[in-house]
Amino acid sequence: MGRGDAGGLSPGDAGERCVTCSGHAEAALRRDVAETRSMLVFSLEPDEPLGRALADALDVPLSPLEERAFLDGERKLRPLVDPRGADAYVVQSLHGGPVESPHDKICRLLMFIATLKDHGAARVTAVIPYLAYARKDRQTKPFDPLGLRCLAQWLESAGMAQLIVLEVHNVAAFQNAFRCPFIHLSVHHVFRHLAEEIAGGGSPIAVASPDPGGVKRALLWREALEEHLREPVRFAMIDKRRSAGILSGGELVAGEVAGTNVLLLDDLVASGETLLRGARALRLSGAKSVTAFAAHGLFVGNAPQTLADDAISRLVVSDSMTPFRLPEQGPSREKLRVVSAVPLFAEAVRASHVGWHR
Active-site annotation holder among 76, 240, 288, 335? 240
Q: Which residues contact 3 (CB under 8 A, 6 or more apart)?
A: 78, 119
Active site annotation includes 240: yes
In a 3-state reduction of DSSP, which class is residue 338? strand
- Asked if 240 and 249 touch (Cβ cutoff 8 Å), the reply is yes
DSSP string of 228-290?
A: HHTS--EEEEEEEEEETTEEEEEEEEES--TT-EEEEEEEEESSSHHHHHHHHHHHHTT-SEE
Q: From edge to edge, which strands make up the β-sheet containing 205-209?
A: 246-254, 234-243, 205-209, 261-269, 289-297, 314-318, 336-339
* C-alpha–C-alpha distance, residues 38 and 34, integer Å: 7
Q: Which residues contact 130 (CB under 8 A, 6 or more apart)?
A: 93, 94, 95, 166, 268, 296, 320, 321
Residues counted in the chain:
358
Q: Which residue numbers are catalytic?
A: 240
